[in-house]
Structure 1
Amino acid sequence: MAFEPPQRLVRALGESAPDGDDWLERLPETVREAVALRELTVERVQVPGGRSSLVVLVRHADGTPAVLKLAPLRFRPEAERAALTRWDGLGAVQLVEGPLSEGVLLLERLHPDVSVRSLPEAKALLEAAGTLRRLWVEPPAEHVFETVAERTGRQAEVMRARADAAVAPLVDAALAAREELLAAPPEHRLLHGTFRQSKVLAGERMPWLAVGPDPVVGECAFDLARLVRDRVEDLIASPSGAATTRRRVKRLAESLEVDQERLRGWTLFRAVESGVRALRVGRPRDAELLLEFAGWV
């Protein structure tokens, strides 16, 4: 199969790839092997696609549509496989059984070009929140997932070491919020980890299903925090953006029975972490939006 990986994926991997990483160079052969192993027919590569994986629309020998997803191991595709197995199609895309290869997932086909983000904002938040609630289940007794404390601990170390002096007050506030939140987490659930409106696609067996988890185990407010800042560019452009953000925190916390202050704290931490990371990899416009949003929280 001859193809060029989507430029969005190439740029994103260029920001994070360790020295000597050759995943992109090996990708065409990896796709060919995965397709041959499962006797699949390739339709097309999904474009623009994601920032951490290649998504290929395929069909089984009997014509049934499916999706082949390939990701570098540093993006934890095996943790995604384990989470999808645990959810077993409830609220999330279904993992298709079959011969397995490390870093390669075969998934049911949803409607890749129709996400909940296509709905009006209020409706999109409602549908996204309802989908997220279904994913908050007890993790398996012996699980492979990172905890919120572990993941945010790695992030906190980078924030301390590399944050620009201009954003130091926000970084200090975010780190203080993290310490307080981790002191007494209220529950221990399997979380999507990177949930937002664009990660909820239209399906056949259910109207909306989540895709692309980076699963983590911890409290629900951590998961919900990423949804709070969805459409951040629209919030920043609005003269009532700050007030809208505060109302969104309140509404989402109440609708999903999450403590409002804990949601606010995790929203602050996750926005600042993302903003600092955007600065570090040379995306100043994204950083500006995220850090202005964090200042409102």
Structure 2
Amino acid sequence: MPLAQSAGPRYCDPIFLKGGPSFVGVAQPLIPLDGEGPERPTKLKDYFLEAATVTNVRFSRFVAETGYVTEAERFGWSAVFTGGGIRLGEVVGSGLSWWSKVHDANWREPEGRGSSIERRMDHPVTHVSLQDAEDFAAWAGGRLPSEAEWEHAARGGLVRRRFPWGDDEPTDDTVFCNIWQGDFPQLNTAQDGYEGTAPSRSFTPSELGFFNMVGNVWEWTAEPFRIRSISRTARQRNEMALANRERLLKGGSFLCHRSYCYRYRIAARMALSADSSASNVGFRIAFDTLPQSISEGRNL
């Protein structure tokens, strides 16, 4: 499938966040085994975080200019959500019958051979591994954010809230973001307008201007997955994460629902092996300082 060779911008409206005291985590974690708590103080340096996740059109420019080949393309398969429907391949992971190992699924063909991103160029790029995300970020002159940077941006600074918009709970009828509505995994009513990913700039942005900090796609961060606890359970989980090269992702995805995956909250966390990719995983970019082209007002 032909893709635009240079239509996508290299950068996407980085938003400045002033450094200083902040915190990460939550005092009363809802999923303690994920390491959501306790709340921990931290200090941030000045940084920038892009308003939206990297889109298919931006990633296509990266590939066109560099000849980059993603890990999913090299492996020859990626994980695709198939719900309660027909299997597209063997099941991925223990107890995850709604995920299929689909041959030839990758960022260009998200559901496997013959599928297309032609009508999803403004949606988040998916089926990208940690290395893919880091390589794109380096090409753009940036990096992946830390957990503390991601949470600080999602909260809107030194405020305590469950979601980027406040504490009002999304429901099957009250839409704030792109998550699952209905009976997971058999029925998605798509009350929010999308059965899968939504455009990166959809729904109402936060006060600072960030789009889809929760829901839509999980976002890679710069950190390994680790639970900060001295409990035996935490030590065992951390040993497993280290052995499997698991990294930390934030934000939840279009597959989250309170009945199953209540992780579309700012403090929520997920672990995924660094070389994994899936149809609900993407990323956004942080910058320590803006590349010269942005400073000069040129969105290359």
TM-score in terms of structure 2 length: 0.25
In our comparison, the structure showing a higher alpha carbon Rg is 1
The normalised TM-score by structure 1 is 0.25
Structure with the larger RCO, 1 or 2 (CA within 8 Å, 6+ apart): 2
Higher strand share: 2
